[in-house]
Structure 1
Amino acid sequence: MDAISSYSFASMAWLAAQSVPLVTWPNFISSLLTPNFQHANATEEYFARSLGLTQLALGLILVSLSGALPLASISETSADAASPYANAVVLISTLYHAAQAFYSYARFSGSDAGGYFIGALGSALLAAFGLWCLLFGGDRGHISRRTGADKRTSGFPFRNSEADKRKGKAL
Structure 2
Amino acid sequence: MLSAGILESRLNALYNQLEGLRPDSSDAELVAFASFFAQDCVVNFESMREAKEPSLGRDGVVAKLRDQMKHLYLEQRTVVSQVISESDMRVFSEMRNRYNVHSEVLDDFPETLVATFDDEGLITNFSLYGCRSHILIMIQKATGNGPFSAEEMTKW
Normalising by structure 1, report the TM-score.
0.25
Q: What TM-score, normalized to structure 2?
A: 0.26
Larger-gyration structure (1/2): 1
